[in-house]
């Protein structure tokens, strides 16, 4: 279907086709594949970003609500982060021996993260969750895991998904996925697998809020059963509070994993936790990385913490995000749309339902299409940046108003599919 927007991304689609021939999956992260947006309408490549804005391969400008899939919530090219990276670059990026900067970064984490008494640096969220689970298994002497939906690409995480090719059966027998807030299933699993569960690893919050003291109940159950509680704070870390979601909710895990926002756009992750656990585990596990102590990322992390300590980042993100959520839902009500914005300010998502209150991929596609055509970009969640201006937010809500009106009218007229200019987004796992 040839459209005006399709012509605007024609060069990008040609480049993507070439990329698929020479790069496995076309890119390095499933959430950046062309199919996660409205293919044919959504931008495929970004070539430049600054503040909260990004420019695609054709030069179109967008307000970016994904911010590098989470890392750049203090803004692209944040001046303090950029200056710290440039200063460290003059000294060096990595040495043949550790740098004292590792100690300073570790001390900083211990100072701000409630559960942190000892630290191990890595590069990606997947590496860090893998290390945390290995620590838990080594510490408890148990193999089985209770997990949330997604914690990276390792065997124990993907064993029970549709993307489990190449994963031995033995992993599938040791991993149990539970839905957020489903405390009854957690209890049943502990009853069914007494003295076999090493840990529960969950995101402390996605976009569904914890109900009926869920986090504290998890804390109590794991403690009663000799298992560890691990928070995957790759997304929530530093975003909900300086000390992460564990500080925000006041329920402290045994171990926690951080990444994404940690390096301000540079690759850095960490496992942090109780010293007694990590000291015991270190004698029987092997976690080692040439680039775990890479210095540009550690310098960037210290600069991010400085921004969070000296500027009203969290106050601003909560204010912006909650305002967008509340105003969006008012607009949906005004137009008779059943699309709903959910979550807390730092991390928002949408429930895409049609006017019959059914999940509807075509309604989702049309809404996303109309939003991105007007210069608002996001893929999975919306992760508002501290650097969004009031004018950016005002324009975003104007776009949502127009997209909701058009989508709802199309539903009522039965023309949703007729108006689609691209392909529906594809869920990866």
Instruction: Quote the tokens at residue 265.
Output: 């756009």
Which residues form the catalytic set?
150, 232, 260
- What separation in angstroms does the CA of 299 have from each of 84, 100, 108, 241, 302? 6, 11, 12, 20, 5
416 φ/ψ angles, rounded to the nearest 5 degrees? -55, -50
Which residues, in sequence order, are bridge partners of residue 33? none
185, 179 in Cβ contact below 8 A? yes
Half-sphere exposure of 304 (CA within 13 A, CB side): 34
Q: Going by DSSP bridges, is the β-strand pair 61-64/53-56 parallel, antiparallel, or unpaired?
A: antiparallel
Show the tokens assigned to 350.
């949408």
Helix (H, G, I), strand (E, B) or coil at 292: coil
3-state secondary structure 228-272: EEEEEECCCCCCCCCCHHHHHHCCCCCEEEECHHHHECECCEEEE
């Amino acid at each position: 279907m040839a459209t005006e927007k399709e012509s605007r991304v024609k060069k990008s689609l040609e480049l993507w086709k070439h990329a698929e021939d020479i790069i496995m999956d076309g890119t390095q992260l499933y959430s950046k594949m062309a199919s996660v947006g409205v293919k044919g309408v959504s931008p495929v490549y970004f070539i430049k970003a600054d503040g909260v804005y990004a420019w695609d391969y054709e030069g179109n400008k967008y307000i970016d609500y994904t911010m590098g899939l989470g890392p750049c919530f203090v803004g692209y090219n944040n001046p303090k982060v950029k200056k710290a990276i440039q200063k460290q670059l003059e000294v060096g990026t990595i040495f043949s021996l550790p740098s004292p900067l590792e100690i300073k970064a570790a001390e900083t984490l211990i100072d701000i993260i409630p559960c942190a008494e000892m630290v191990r640096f890595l590069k990606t969220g997947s590496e860090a969750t893998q290390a945390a689970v290995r620590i838990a298994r080594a510490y408890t002497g148990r193999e089985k895991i209770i997990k949330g939906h997604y914690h990276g690409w390792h065997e124990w995480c993907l064993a029970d998904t549709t993307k489990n090719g190449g994963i031995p059966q033995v992993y599938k027998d040791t991993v149990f996925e539970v839905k957020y807030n489903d405390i009854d299933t957690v209890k049943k699993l502990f009853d069914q697998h007494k003295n076999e569960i090493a840990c529960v690893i969950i995101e402390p919050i996605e976009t569904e809020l914890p109900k009926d003291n869920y986090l504290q109940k998890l804390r109590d159950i794991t403690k009663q059963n000799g298992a560890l509680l691990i928070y995957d704070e790759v997304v929530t870390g530093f975003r909900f509070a300086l000390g992460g979601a564990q500080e925000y909710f006041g329920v402290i895990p045994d171990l926690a994993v951080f990444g994404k926002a940690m390096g301000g756009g540079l690759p850095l992750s960490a496992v942090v936790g109780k010293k007694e656990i990590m000291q015991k585990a270190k004698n029987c596990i092997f976690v080692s990385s040439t680039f775990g102590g890479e210095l540009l990322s550690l310098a960037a992390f210290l600069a991010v913490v400085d921004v969070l300590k000296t500027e009203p980042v969290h106050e601003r993100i909560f204010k912006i995000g909650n305002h967008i959520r509340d105003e969006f839902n008012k607009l949906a009500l005004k137009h008779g749309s059943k699309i709903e914005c959910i979550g807390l300010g730092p991390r928002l998502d949408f429930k895409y339902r049609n006017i019959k209150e059914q999940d509807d991929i075509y309604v989702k596609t049309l809404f996303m299409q109309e939003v991105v055509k007007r210069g608002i970009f996001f893929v999975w969640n919306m992760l508002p940046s501290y650097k969004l201006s009031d004018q950016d937010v005002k324009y975003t809500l104007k776009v949502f108003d127009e997209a909701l009106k058009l989508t709802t009218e199309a539903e009522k007229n039965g023309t949703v599919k007729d108006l689609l200019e691209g392909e529906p987004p594809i869920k990866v796992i």
